[in-house]
Structure 1
Amino acid sequence: MSENDPLLNDPLLDEPQARRRWWKPSFDRRRILRWSLRGVVALLVIAALYYPVGMLLVHKIDDDPDFQAPATPEGASRAVALAAALIDREVGDYGWPSNDPFFMPGWALDNMPNYQQGIIAALARFSTEMRDQIGRVRGTSQVDPDLEKAAGQLSYSPTVWIFDFSTSWAPTASSEQQYLAAAKTLRSFNNRLSQGQAVFERRADNLQGTLDRIAADLGSASAVLDKQVEEHSGDWVDFQADDIFYATKGRLYAYGLLLRDLGTDFAPVIAERDLKAAWAQMVETFRVASTLDPLVVVNGRPDAFMRPSHLAAQGFFLLRARTQLREISNILQK
């Protein structure tokens, strides 16, 4: 501080007071308030955009009817390869928002999670049939260990994150870990099958039993659609309609692809029973049903003029596919 500083020469201030005032910083309260408000506004904008933008980035519903599994070795099952590839695509490539915690944007999605859960439900049913019927010589033979493991992994809850506080406070296996492990297990079965170390019984009764189980599962799905239409059709706002629609869509999509490739696996049986045309028609019905894609799912009255009933339309194609499954099953039984 200079000896000529006016603060030191002020007769009303002693030297210690003058020095303290000289070192006291000068704050612009209005500037601080302005920057604080800007920070708050920026945080609000980020928070407002986080979920909408994040949801757009995460959301993906892939209903490509021409989806194919990678080439399989000779002797392997095309349907099993398709199941593994579908898991890899949906869980590994697209992510699994069904178990996202609240601080992730996928937590706010509903259509994609329901669609993916419908796919996994269909794959779980297929893996069970593989374990109980197709993957065994007869009902009294030993269960294939890979198919046993895959059936359990695909039956795992779809909403488990790395913590499941309903059972334990310790970290646990997440849904996507279980499903990706199932894909790996199915590929292991297929590799063993191609080497003659596993069983894939291409018999008519096995195919018939699988079709009957799929038809029964679709019957359950049609009952859910029917209940929603009966109790809520005509409601201006039905928050459950899109959940049911996309869960059913996922089921139909996965079953359609599996049946397409089961047609290849059981080609001799289908040719022997002269079912090529009927099989192709059934697969086409699944394709049409699984590619319905309304901009907004509306649960209007079935006879409405302005507001359509997307659930009723989906239910029509579902029941048509189920009827065709039953027709083919009856032919296989003869």
Structure 2
Amino acid sequence: MHDPIVTFVARLFQWLGRGIGFAFGIVLWPFMRFGRWLSGRGLLLKTGFGALAIVLLCLYGYFFYVTQWWTNFNPDYPVAWINAADTTAAGDPVQPAPEAQAPTNEVTAAASCKPSAIAAVSADLVDFNVNQNAWISSMLVSKLGLFGIDWRRTPFFDNKAAFQLGINQVMRRTTTELVDTLGRVRGTSQIDQNLQDARTALAWNEDAWYIGWRGPTRPTPSVYRDAIRKLRAFNASLEKCQATFDARADNLMQFLDRIASDIGSTSDILRARIEASNAGWFDMRADDRFWFAYGQLYAYYGILVATRSDFAAVIAERNLTTLWTRMQKQLRNSLDVQPWIISNGSESSSFFPSHLATMGFSLLQVRSNIVEIRSVLDR
């Protein structure tokens, strides 16, 4: 007599095998019908459809590659900007290096000002999104989806796109603040044209291809590359003391308010998804929510490290070094949460973790630190 447990396990695997086979049958059925239809057609038609099939296979193969391999992904990317001893604000004159100073009998070296780390990190992050990696959202296969189904409605190939969009959300917020407050004196001086052009470029449609509903257009990566050039052009002008960076305490406070508001909005999105579903590993929308939030944290880590460099004088004057260091460490630790599969289970579940709740906690922790720093600035 067979062991009942062995029999049950054997039947379970048999049912799973039949289910998987049935699912594959449903997916392959249209292709099999089309193949039978095409077999009775002429050589010219077969050649045309064969060429189309090869093109689609290559496009989907490349799409699979660029969505699975993340080039130069490194949570420690802003480490070069961490300098606790720096007390010079962005835009302030700086002394040239000793070897660059002119001898006493020669003309004194030209004036030089400290460039903006915020502008530099922003340019690097956009470069990371569109040059070091392919911009997923505007790719043709991204628009086609999985047999017409939006990738966000499937468990496949949307994580990197969501991560890139999270970074881009931060870039849009940052360039807006650079234009409106940080890159001009007390908000009344003339807007810096390089920063304005960078903001306009990053406001471009995130999924634009070569052809849109209104005809030929510029693809998103091409326009975002203009933003990189403009941000670096602003920094070049600032380094020559020909541009402005207004590193005042009230500007820092306003910038932190905007960041806290942005982070709070994303935490609300995560909370809404947690309340809408507790399907655990089978929630098809949890992964794009998680990786969008992760992209925001990834970008804000670099931006806040850069902000510490640009507002070094204010941070030293208000004794914010300890608080800022703690915020940076907590933000960096939150980037270590990189689950292979995102689960949106009940927060009290023993088997289905809630990665969205974990990410939401990290966001609120960062926001709490920002609010604390802001309160010190407001005293």
TM-score range, shorter chain: 0.7 to 0.9
| Cα distance change of structure 1 residues 270 and 290 upon mapping to structure 2, 3 Å threshold | same
Q: 1:89 offset after TM fit, Å?
A: 1.8
Moved more, 95-104 or 287-296: 95-104
2:166 to 73, 93, 118: 118
User: Could you say which residue in structure 2 is the equivalent of 1:255?
Assistant: 300
CA distance in 2, matches of 1:191, 1:49: 41
User: d(CA) in 1 for partners of 2:370 and 2:142?
Assistant: 43
Alpha-carbon distance in structure 2 between the residues aligned to 1:148 and 1:68: 25
**1:158 and 2:167 are equivalent in the alignment:** no
- Once the 2 structures are TM-superposed, how far is the Cα of residue 69 of structure 1 from its aligned partner? 9.3
Query: Does 1:127 pair with 2:175?
Result: yes
Aligned counterpart for 1:90 among listed residues 118, 123, 129: 129
**In 2, Cα distance between equivalents of 1:49 and 1:192:** 44
Tell me which residue corresponds to 1:66.
76
Task: Give the conservation status (yes or no) of the 8 Å contact 1:158–1:175.
Answer: yes
| 1:69/1:78 contact within 8 Å kept | no
Give the match's secondary structure for 1:133.
helix
Question: What's the counterpart of residue 219 of structure 2?
Answer: 174
> Unaligned regions of 5+ residues in structure 1, if any?
1-32
Q: 1:139 offset after TM fit, Å?
A: 1.9
State how far apart, in whole Å, the 1-side matches of 2:117 and 2:359 are.
27
Match of 1:191 among 236, 258, 265: 236
Structure 1 residues 54 and 221, CA, compared in 2 at 3 Å: closer, same or farther?
A: closer
Partner of 1:8: none
The one-letter amino acid paired with 1:83 is S
SS for the counterpart of 2:210 is: coil
Specify which structure has the bigger relative contact order, considering alpha-carbon pairs within 8 angstroms and separated by 6 or more residues: 2
- Distance, in Å, in 2 between the alignment partners of 1:198 and 1:248 is 33
Structure 2: gaps of 5 or more residues: 1-39, 82-89, 91-111, 152-156
Return the letter of the residue paired with 1:55: F
Q: Take 1:104 and 1:233, find their aligned partners in 2: how far apart are those partners?
A: 28
Cα distance, 1:63–1:273 mapped onto 2, change above 3 Å: farther
Structure-2-length-normalised TM-score: 0.71
User: Aligned in 2, Cα 1:81/1:307: closer, same or farther, shift over 3 Å?
Assistant: same
Q: What is the match of residue 13 of structure 1?
A: none
- Structure 1's 150 and 45: CA in aligned 2 closer, same or farther, altered over 3 A? closer
Confirm whether residue 56 of structure 1 aligns to residue 65 of structure 2. Answer: yes
Rounded to whole Å, the distance in 2 between the matches of 1:179 and 1:59 is 22
Offset of residue 103 of structure 1: 8.4
Q: Secondary structure at the match of 2:353?
A: coil
Three-state SS of the structure 2 residue aligned to 1:102 is helix
Aligned pairs for 1:215-230 (under 5 A) are 215-230=260-275
Note the 1:1-334 alignment, pairs <5 A: 51=60, 54-61=63-70, 63-68=73-78, 74-102=113-141, 109-165=157-213, 168-169=214-215, 171-234=216-279, 237-334=282-379
Greater C-alpha radius of gyration: 1
Cα distance in 1 between the residues matched to 2:363 and 2:325: 16
TM score, norm. by length of structure 1: 0.80
Aligned residues: 296
CA-CA distance at 1:140 after TM superposition:
1.9
Structure-2 residue corresponding to 1:28: none
